[in-house]
């Protein structure tokens, strides 16, 4: 009797602890599963991304941006590229109001103008901000920013998610007419970590002609779900698989391609997914995309537990937003100091 009661009183709290552990483990497992699910979906459906909010694509107009069209530049750097003759030009699409993202890039991966003895320069690509509250003030601030930094190109189409294809095509036009002595250009989003050093190293041994690389999607399914950010109706694109294309977050190309892509674009109706559209132009040209030398260089997402030399081994890695770049850049500098 006595023995059992002692036994019991000893066992009770253990049971409680056990139950507590059970719930804790269950909670952790659910969390892990949700985490894995989130990351696997971002890996599986990377496609093109933008910091702009999700959109309601209902009219045909939304799927077919107004291109070709003779867009002009309100803010330009008409002579800089010709004079500087950079080896590599980084072209960064960014919304007019996103001054914060531009400033972070100017202090991080945009800062070094000479990498491995090669001149590298960058330009921000803007459209027009929507009319309304503060649009005029914003334009004035942009003029001031452009005067200070000489890195802003603003074209006269409405800057919006659905117009990103216009931005990309205007980028090819600008590169083609302003950078005759440049070997490579890269289109890169503002919320990306870029290791310019590794990029230049890769380009030093890359082909100079008909070359495009990045995260290449070979045979992505066309998304027919109306709720998807990348929804594409059959009427706009009847095939069920996209031709190979480089994900819009960051792709590099040799400078013989812009004029060729522009010529191809005259034969293909522009669709709103800018990276897919460039892929369609590449198919029209019969130019095959190139995979990077190894798969770890262009990362669609940043692993939760990035290794101790992660930032010094990649070329691009997607971040949550451009604010994160400031912190990540410090970690990268530390990794360099630690001999990575």
Q: Tell me which residues in 237-266 interact with ligand NAG (CB under 6 A).
A: none
Letters for 178-197 (x = contact with ligand NAG by CB under 6 A, - = none) are --xx----------------
Q: Which stretch binds ligand NAG (CB under 6 A): 31-39, 90-98, 153-161, 277-285?
A: 153-161
Q: How far apart are CA 174 and CA 179, in angstroms?
A: 8
Tell me the residue nearest to ligand NAG as measured from the CB: 160
**Listed ranges 139-147, 155-163, 239-247, 318-326: which one lies at the site for ligand NAG (CB under 6 A):** 155-163
- Nearer to ligand NAG by C-beta: 12 or 336? 336
Report in angstroms how near the CB of residue 313 gets to ligand NAG at its nearest.
15
Q: Which residues pair with 338 in a beta bridge?
A: none
* Per rule CB under 6 A, count of chain residues that contact ligand NAG: 14
CA–CA dist 149, 238 (Å, integer): 44
CB of 32 to ligand NAG, least distance (A): 31
Cα–Cα distance measured from residue 226 to residue 232, given in angstroms and rounded to the nearest whole number: 8
Q: Give the whole-angstrom CA distance, residue 13 versus residue 338.
A: 49
Interface map 262-301 toward ligand NAG (x if CB under 6 A)? ----------------------------------------
CB neighbours of residue 297 within 10 Å: 20
Nearer to ligand NAG, 183 or 302 (CB): 183
For residues 25-84, which are near ligand NAG according to CB under 6 A? 56, 58, 65-66
User: Is residue 77 within 8 Å of residue 89, measured between CB atoms?
Assistant: no
**Cα–Cα distances in angstroms (integers) from residue 217 to residues 97, 252, 292, 327, in the given order:** 31, 14, 12, 29
Provide, rounded to whole angstroms, the least separation between the CB of residue 108 and ligand NAG: 7
Q: Does 229 bind ligand NAG (CB under 6 A)?
A: no
Instruction: Return all residues near 92 (Cβ < 8 A) that are at least 6 apart.
Output: 102, 105, 122, 123, 124, 125, 188, 189, 190
Structure tokens at 325: 């770049």
Structure tokens at 336: 């360099």
Contacts to ligand NAG from residues 96-125, by CB under 6 A:
111-112, 115
- The binding track of 157-176 with respect to ligand NAG, each residue x by CB under 6 A or -, is xx-x-xx-------------
Distance of closest approach, residue 148 Cβ to ligand NAG, in angstroms: 19
105-109 long-range contacts, CB within 8 A, separation 24+: 105/190, 105/322, 105/325, 106/149, 106/151, 107/326, 107/329, 108/325, 108/326, 108/329, 109/193, 109/194, 109/195, 109/196, 109/325, 109/329
Nearest residue (CB) to ligand NAG, 68 versus 180: 180
Least distance in Å: CB of 241 to ligand NAG? 26
Q: For the CB of residue 27, give the shortest distance to ligand NAG in the complex, in Å.
A: 33
> How far apart (Å, rounded) are the C-alpha atoms in residues 114 and 121?
9
**328 neighbors 212 (Cβ within 8 angstroms):** no
Q: Is 192 left (phi over 0), alpha (psi -120 to 50) or beta?
A: beta
CB nearer to ligand NAG: give 42 or 181: 181
Which residue ranges make up the site for ligand NAG (CB under 6 A)?
56, 58, 65-66, 111-112, 115, 157-158, 160, 162-163, 180-181
């Amino acid at each position: 009797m006595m023995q059992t009661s002692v036994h019991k009183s000893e066992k009770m709290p253990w049971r409680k602890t056990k139950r507590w552990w059970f719930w804790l483990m269950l909670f952790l497992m659910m969390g892990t599963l949700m985490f894995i699910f989130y990351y696997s979906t971002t890996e599986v459906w990377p496609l093109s991304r933008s910091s702009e909010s999700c959109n309601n694509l209902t009219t045909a107009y939304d799927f077919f941006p107004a291109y070709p069209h003779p867009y002009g530049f309100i803010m330009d750097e008409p002579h800089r590229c010709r004079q500087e003759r950079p080896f590599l030009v980084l072209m960064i699409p960014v919304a007019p109001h996103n001054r914060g993202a531009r400033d972070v890039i100017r202090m991080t991966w945009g800062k070094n103008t000479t990498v491995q003895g090669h001149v590298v320069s960058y330009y921000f690509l803007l459209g027009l901000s929507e009319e309304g509250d503060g649009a005029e003030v914003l334009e004035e601030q942009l003029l001031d920013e452009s005067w200070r930094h000489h890195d802003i190109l603003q074209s006269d189409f409405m800057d919006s998610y659905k117009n990103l294809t216009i931005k990309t095509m205007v980028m090819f036009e600008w590169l083609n007419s302003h950078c005759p002595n440049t070997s490579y250009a890269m289109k890169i989003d503002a919320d990306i970590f870029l290791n310019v050093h590794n990029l230049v190293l890769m380009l030093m041994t890359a082909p100079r002609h008909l070359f495009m690389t990045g995260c290449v999607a070979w045979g992505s399914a066309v998304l027919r779900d109306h709720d998807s950010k990348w929804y594409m109706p059959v009427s706009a694109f009847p095939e069920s698989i996209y031709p190979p294309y480089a994900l819009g977050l960051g792709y590099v190309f040799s400078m013989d391609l812009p004029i060729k892509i522009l010529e191809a674009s005259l034969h293909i109706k522009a669709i709103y997914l800018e990276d897919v559209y460039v892929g369609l132009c590449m198919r029209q040209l019969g130019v095959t995309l190139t995979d990077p030398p190894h798969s770890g260089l262009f990362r669609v997402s940043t692993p939760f537990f990035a290794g101790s030399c992660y930032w010094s081994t990649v070329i691009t890695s997607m971040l949550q937003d451009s604010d994160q770049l400031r912190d990540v850049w410090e970690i990268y500098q530390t990794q360099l100091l630690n001999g990575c």
